[in-house]
């Protein structure tokens, strides 16, 4: 079988892999060059970039030597399907007919006949039925390469599809051999295909096909992600947009494979691409000085106990930290990440949060922590912020690019890890969607799985995710369990059933079928499920669940006694009550469940009272400015005004470190009520005399079982009734927190509540529907036997969401599709940003920042509104399609009074109150 490069026929050497015409220059790349480039690249990534933790997972069924050979096999053979006539006569994407003709002429001179005829005459089959990824798998089937390995070749463009239940080569013979019957014509193609196979096997060191191992489906997923990464890298001509830094360049049509020094080409490319940033986490010593060194304070009792617990764990898979707000859960998570990164050899971090706002707030904290790690190692670590408006985050934008950094010891960005490759960056902060999407059938899902397999995963505010999102969360956690990825989950508190479901999901992924055998001992740990201790740390160490519920020193901390009062007042009276509560000064928070209700209440506040309104319906710059202003006013070190009212929606309950003297909140499920209450007397500061006692007013309760319409729409009646029933007149934090939450989510207590049966039945019906709906889009449970491959893994019977980030987010959040638009002001004097600046004086990026999300109820059917806005944008802003910041954006405008129309919907925008829709006034002319 042994064959050397110089012994290959000219036919084989002249097959092409890539071609294009640039400024009149005809460029190409021989197929063999790309196969060798990719084999070397994937081997480099395996040796220097892939973590030891991921390698350990991949070697559970084979030695590392066998794994490395398999990796090289995948790299070399990934594009072997390009050695068929259906590919070799494909026209250039850029319409370069002269280049197409020149490459065909090469092959004709080498002995391939009739290739200059019309393609339809050459290919008697349907050539589109044999794309090169599928063709590569079919060619390897001839040689009896294991099915699990062939499926990786078939899927290297993002989806393996279905394995044909027939022979493609027999069904579409001319696609593979140019002619259905002429054995002489077929002989040329068989010769080059067999030469490539023999040369590749010899190069890799396989003596026979039986040396190629099979892999499990989860192993194939990770290997596929690695192959796609290697292929994209080996296909990169330059480092990002910087054409002064070449990687794997094409060559002139006058040059051949013999003109390429493949070794120096590869070494030069890797030296240019590999910008460092590899974290080598040291062993964390278990001592209390760690917190002081990292953050300048001594650890609290819960934090100190966690250092020892993580150090002593033998095989820590999942850790759930339930603790009050303000206790330092973020610092616990980051320090535990350092410990687990060392112990499990997963040297990276993903931290997921509910919203873009909470992600932005966390990004700054993680960046500060990462700077310390970078200085310790004298290295520059790349970080990524992953959400829809990340490009507008000032902290992220200001970071230097790794390719421009000469010194070390800091945080950078690496632009090569962008788009679908973003999750491959070693340190990532982003919205939880990025993790939930691990469970969604979507093209290139392999990259997402590879990215997460390399990291310690932190999930913050897990209580904020609804029942539909939880189905994707459990699916993602199950797959992370397969990869033995350590997970840290943070929550103010959790219902015990959700705590159990989280542990079960990871356990099932990690142990698979073994779970049944271990189930007895697993479920005989009675306390870990039933405990209502608080604070509480639950740890899955190997196959055992352990808990820490006693923290020396916690009992010495002064409890917070919150007085709870139910009020049912009309809006005007409510605002009078709020005003009266701060008549002698103070900060009053009002948290309601809908944007419309927040705006209605805000309009009733007298103009002379300092007011801030915060919800999701603000322009992105306005919302960011409001969050900063709020933190500066009532944050931990804020300069508090004498008197102020803050009215907002759920955005106030999530990760904003703010402090109210008194709080009014709409009725909501108990865990969210307590989360909101965590913003009440949060810090040890001086307060007005009348507000020394923390008081929580619950609004929107008309009577037991009758609640404000918006609250019922958002949360359903069942959980509101249970919250109403169990909510006491005094809450002692932290003692009562877990007991209250567990009572609301324990269905065994339902018989205590009169008239709850109908609400419970509707709740259970909706929950069942949510689970069924989620399954329609989800990947299956991981399969670890040899019969399950990547074939059919991403098959879906429902509509595809792979082309749209917004559609994908909607799929995992169960939200109606809505639209983001750039909102501008159009007057007789021109077009302006809403802050008054003319767009002619602004950079495109500044215009692109003026984003606002329209409420889904006003944009249905969505395709109608997309078409409407596309026509309007094309007419008003024709140049946007040629602008990298504005391409694809949709525009919407307001008039000089900040009023506008969207179809039949009239709206206005205010920097104080946000976007507000109202009933249409028929005698007002529509603007869109």
Tell me the domains of the chain and their CATH numbers: 5-273 (1.10.3210.30), 289-551 (3.40.50.300), 558-753 (3.40.50.300), 816-918 (no CATH)
The residues that bridge with 322 in the sheet, in sequence order, are 491, 536
Average pLDDT for residues 556-565, to the nearest whole number? 83
- Neighbouring CB atoms inside 10 A of 637's CB total 9
Pair type for strands 380-386 and 427-431? parallel
Q: Considering only 76-80, 183-187, 643-647, which range has the smallest mean pLDDT?
A: 183-187
Which tokens go with 778?
A: 């989800």
- Per-residue pLDDT tens for 592-646? 999 999 999 999 999 999 999 999 899 988 988 898 899 899 988 889 999 999 9
Are the CB atoms for 895 and 827 separated by under 8 Å?
A: yes
pLDDT at 247 over 70: yes
User: 89: which 2 tokens?
Assistant: 């006569």
Express each pLDDT in 295-320 by its tens digit: 888 888 888 888 889 999 999 999 99
Q: Where does residue 562 fall: left (phi above 0), alpha (psi -120 to 50 degrees), or beta otherwise?
A: beta
At residue 538, φ and ψ (nearest 5 deg) are -110, 130
At 3, give phi and psi (nearest 5°).
-145, 140
pLDDT at 620: 87
Q: Summarize the confidence of residues 668-688 as an average pLDDT.
A: 92
In this prediction, residues 648-664 reach a mean pLDDT of: 87
589 pLDDT exceeds 70? yes
pLDDT of residue 926 exceeding 70, the answer is no
Q: Which pLDDT score, from 0 to 100, does residue 920 have?
A: 47
Which pLDDT score is estimated for 301? 83
| pLDDT (tens digit per residue) in 394-439 | 889 889 988 888 777 789 999 899 889 999 999 999 999 899 999 9
Residues 6+ apart with CB under 8 A from 402: 275, 276, 277, 380, 382, 412, 413, 414, 415
Higher-pLDDT residue of 215, 807: 215
Residue 364, Cβ neighbours under 10 Å: how many? Answer: 14
What would the pLDDT profile of 731-761 be if each residue is shown by its tens digit? 998 889 999 999 999 888 999 999 999 999 9
pLDDT the model gives residue 514: 60
pLDDT, residue 863, reads: 80
Could you tell me which residues are beta bridge partners of residue 827?
830
- Residue 444, phi then psi, degrees to nearest 5: 65, 25
Q: Residues 663, 665, 671, CA angle at the centre, nearest 5°? A: 105
pLDDT at 919: 57
Average pLDDT, the chain: 89
**Residues linked to residue 21 through DSSP beta bridges, in sequence order:** 26
If pLDDT is split at 50, 70 and 90, which confidence band does 113 have?
confident
Three-state DSSP string of 37-81: HHHHHHHHHHHHHCCHHHHHHHCCCCCHHHHHHHHHHHHHHCCHH
Is 468 a residue whose pLDDT tops 60?
yes
Instruction: Answer yes or no: are the C-beta atoms of 104 and 119 closer than 8 Å.
Output: no
**Is the CB of residue 698 less than 8 Å from the CB of residue 565?**
yes
pLDDT at position 921 is: 46
The model's pTM is 0.90
903: three-class secondary structure by DSSP: coil
> What does the angle CA 515 – CA 517 – CA 519 come to, to the nearest 5 degrees?
60
Residue ranges of alpha helices (H) inside 706-756 are: 709-715, 717-726, 737-745
**Could you give the percent of the chain with pLDDT greater than 90?**
66
Instruction: State the pLDDT at residue 487.
Output: 98
d(Cα 168, Cα 200) in Å, to the nearest integer?
22
**Distance from C-alpha of 821 to C-alpha of 257, rounded to nearest angstrom:** 50
Q: What sign does the CA torsion over 360, 361, 362, 368 have? A: positive
Residues sharing a CB contact under 8 Å with residue 687, sequence separation 6 or more, in sequence order:
586, 661, 681
Q: What is the pLDDT of residue 286?
A: 66
| Peptide bond connecting 275 to the previous residue in cis, omega within 30 degrees of 0 | no
What are the φ/ψ torsions at residue 19 (nearest 5 degrees)? -160, 150
Segment 831-845 shows an average pLDDT of 94
For 266, the token pair is 């590869």
CA 270 to chain centre: 27
| Position 564 confidence tier, pLDDT thresholds 50, 70, 90 | very high
190 to 103, 132, 233: CA distances (angstroms): 19, 16, 30
Structure-block tokens of residue 373 = 């790690």
pLDDT for 7 equals: 85
Angstrom CA distances, 38 to 81, 201, 419, stand at 14, 15, 21
Q: Which residues pair with 321 in a beta bridge?
A: 490, 537
Sequential DSSP letters for 148-173:
HHHHHHHTTTS------SS-HHHHTH
The DSSP code sequence of 519-545 is: HHHHHT-HHHHH---SSEEEEEETTEE
Q: Is the pLDDT of residue 33 over 60?
A: yes
Q: What was the pLDDT predicted at 244? A: 84
The single residue listed with the structure tokens 């990164």 is 341
What is the four-CA torsion angle of 750, 752, 754, 756, rounded to 10 degrees?
A: -10
Rounded distance between C-alpha atoms, residue 894 and residue 900, angstroms: 4
Site of tokens 């694809």:
888
The answer to whether residue 87 scores a pLDDT higher than 80 is yes
Residues linked to residue 660 through DSSP beta bridges, in sequence order: 680
Strands 560-566 and 695-699: parallel
Helices marked H in 314-355 — which ranges?
Answer: 329-344
**For position 149, what pLDDT does the model report?**
97
Residue 166 has pLDDT above 90, yes or no: no
> How do strand 914-918 and strand 905-910 relate by DSSP bridges?
antiparallel
Among 41, 59, 40, smallest CA distance to 213 is for 59
Give the separation between CA 504 and CA 804, rounded to whole angstroms: 32
Q: At what angle do helices 805-813 and 467-482 cross, to 10 degrees?
A: 100
Give counts: helices (H), strands (E), the chain: 36, 30
Q: Tell me the pLDDT tens digit for each residue of 867-920.
A: 899 999 999 999 998 888 898 899 999 999 999 999 888 999 999 999 999 854
- Edge to edge, the sheet with strand 586-591 lists 611-614, 643-648, 586-591, 662-666, 695-699, 560-566, 730-733
Distance CA 165, CA 525 (A): 48
Going by the DSSP 8-state scheme, the letter that residue 194 receives in this structure is H
Query: What CA–CA distance (Å, rounded) separates 581 from 692?
Result: 12
Q: For residue 655, is pLDDT > 70?
A: no
Residue of 806, 797, 794, 809 lying closest to 158 (CA atoms): 794
Q: What percent of the chain has pLDDT over 70?
A: 92
User: Given pLDDT bands bounded at 50, 70 and 90, which one contains residue 510?
Assistant: very high
pLDDT of 925 over the 70 cut: no
Residue that wins the pLDDT comparison between 123 and 854 = 854
348-352, 423-427, 637-641, 818-822: which has the minimum mean pLDDT? 818-822
The first and second tokens of residue 649, run together, are: 């929606």
Token representation of residue 736: 């009562």
| Average pLDDT for 470-497 | 93
Q: What is the H or E stretch that residue 578 is in?
A: helix 571-581
Among 52, 45, 41, 42, CA closest to 348:
52
pLDDT computed for residue 923 by the predictor: 42
Phi, psi angles (nearest 5°) of residue 613: -115, 135
Task: Find out whether 849 and 835 touch, Cβ atoms under 8 Å.
Answer: no
């Amino acid at each position: 079988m042994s064959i050397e490069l110089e012994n290959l026929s000219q036919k084989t050497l002249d097959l092409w892999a890539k071609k294009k015409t640039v400024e009149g220059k005809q460029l190409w790349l021989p197929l063999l060059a790309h196969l060798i480039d990719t084999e070397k690249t994937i081997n480099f990534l395996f040796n220097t970039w892939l973590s030891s933790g991921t390698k350990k997972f991949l070697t559970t069924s084979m030695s590392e030597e066998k794994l490395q050979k398999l990796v090289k096999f995948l790299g070399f053979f990934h594009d072997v399907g390009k050695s068929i006539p259906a590919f070799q006569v494909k026209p250039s994407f850029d319409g370069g007919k002269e280049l197409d003709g020149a490459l065909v002429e090469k092959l004709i001179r080498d002995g391939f006949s009739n290739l200059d005829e019309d393609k339809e005459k050459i290919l008697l089959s349907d050539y589109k039925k044999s794309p090169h990824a599928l063709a590569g798998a079919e060619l390897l089937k001839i040689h009896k390469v294991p099915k699990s390995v062939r499926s990786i070749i078939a899927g290297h463009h993002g989806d393996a599809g279905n394995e044909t239940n027939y022979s493609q080569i027999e069904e579409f013979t001319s696609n593979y051999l140019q002619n259905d019957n002429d054995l002489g014509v077929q002989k040329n193609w068989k010769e080059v295909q067999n030469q490539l196979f023999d040369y590749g096997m010899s190069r890799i060191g396989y003596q026979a096909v039986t040396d190629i191992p099979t892999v499990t489906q989860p192993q194939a997923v990770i290997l596929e992600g690695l192959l796609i990464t290697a292929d994209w890298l080996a296909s990169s001509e330059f480092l990002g947009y910087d054409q002064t830094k070449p990687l794997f360049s094409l060559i002139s049509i006058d040059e051949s494979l013999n003109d390429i020094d493949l070794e120096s080409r590869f070494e030069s490319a890797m030296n240019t691409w590999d910008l460092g940033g590899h974290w080598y986490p040291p062993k964390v010593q278990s001592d209390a000085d760690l917190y002081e060194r990292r953050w300048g304070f001594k650890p609290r009792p819960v934090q100190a106990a966690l250092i020892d617990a993580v150090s002593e764990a033998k095989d820590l898979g999942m850790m759930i930290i339930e603790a009050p707000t303000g206790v330092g859960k973020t610092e616990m998570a980051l320090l535990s990440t350092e410990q687990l990164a060392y112990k499990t050899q997963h040297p990276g971090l993903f931290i997921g949060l509910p919203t873009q706002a909470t992600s932005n707030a966390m990004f700054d904290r993680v960046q500060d922590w990462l700077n310390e790690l970078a200085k310790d190692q004298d290295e520059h670590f790349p970080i990524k912020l992953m959400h829809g408006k990340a490009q507008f985050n000032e902290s992220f934008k200001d970071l230097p690019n790794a390719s421009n950094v000469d010194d070390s010891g800091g945080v950078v960005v690496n632009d090569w890890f962008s788009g679908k490759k973003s999750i491959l960056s070693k340190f990532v902060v982003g919205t939880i969607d990025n993790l939930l999407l691990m469970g969604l059938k979507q093209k290139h899902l392999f990259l997402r799985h590879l990215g997460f397999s390399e990291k310690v995963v932190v999930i913050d505010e897990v209580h904020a995710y609804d029942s539909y999102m939880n189905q994707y969360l459990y699916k993602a956690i199950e797959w992370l369990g397969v990869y033995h990825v350590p997970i840290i989950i943070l929550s103010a508190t959790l219902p015990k059933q959700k705590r159990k479901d989280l542990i079960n999901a990871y356990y099932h992924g990690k142990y698979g079928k073994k779970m049944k055998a271990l189930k007895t001992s697993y479920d005989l740990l009675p306390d870990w499920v039933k405990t209502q201790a608080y604070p509480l740390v639950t740890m899955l160490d190997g196959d055992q669940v352990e808990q820490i519920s006693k923290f020396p020193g916690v009992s010495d901390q002064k409890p917070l006694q919150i007085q709870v009062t139910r009020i049912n007042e009309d809006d005007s009276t409510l605002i009078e009550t709020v005003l009266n509560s701060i008549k002698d000064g103070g900060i009053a928070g009002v948290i309601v469940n809908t944007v419309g209700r927040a705006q209605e209440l805000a309009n009733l506040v007298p103009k002379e009272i300092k007011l801030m309104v915060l919800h999701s319906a603000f322009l992105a710059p306005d919302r960011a400015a409001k969050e900063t202003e709020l933190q500066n006013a009532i944050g931990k070190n804020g300069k508090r005004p004498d008197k102020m009212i803050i009215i907002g929606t759920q955005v106030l309950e999530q990760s904003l470190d703010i402090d109210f003297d008194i709080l009014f909140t709409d009725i909501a499920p108990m865990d969210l009520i307590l989360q909101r209450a965590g913003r009440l007397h949060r810090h040890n500061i001086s307060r007005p005399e009348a507000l020394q006692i923390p008081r929580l007013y619950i609004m929107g309760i008309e009577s037991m079982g009758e609640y404000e319409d918006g609250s019922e729409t958002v949360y359903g009646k069942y959980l509101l009734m249970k919250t109403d029933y169990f909510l006491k007149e005094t809450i002692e934090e932290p003692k009562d927190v877990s007991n209250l939450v567990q009572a609301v989510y324990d269905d065994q207590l339902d018989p205590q509540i009169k008239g709850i049966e109908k609400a419970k039945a509707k709740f259970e019906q909706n929950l069942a529907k949510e689970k069924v709906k989620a399954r329609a889009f989800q990947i299956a449970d991981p399969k670890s036997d040899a019969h399950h491959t990547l074939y059919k893994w991403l098959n879906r019977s429902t509509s595809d969401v792979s082309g749209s980030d917004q559609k994908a987010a909607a799929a995992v959040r169960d939200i109606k599709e809505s639209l983001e638009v750039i909102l501008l002001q159009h007057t007789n004097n021109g077009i302006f940003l809403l802050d008054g600046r003319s767009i002619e004086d602004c950079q495109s990026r500044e215009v692109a920042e003026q984003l606002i999300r329209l409420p889904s109820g006003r944009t249905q059917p969505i395709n109608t509104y997309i078409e409407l806005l596309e026509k309007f944008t094309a007419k008003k802003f024709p140049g946007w399609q040629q602008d990298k910041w504005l391409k694809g954006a949709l525009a919407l405008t307001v008039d000089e009074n900040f009023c506008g129309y969207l179809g039949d919907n009239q709206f206005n925008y205010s920097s104080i109150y946000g976007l507000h829709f109202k009933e249409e006034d028929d005698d007002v002319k529509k603007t869109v």
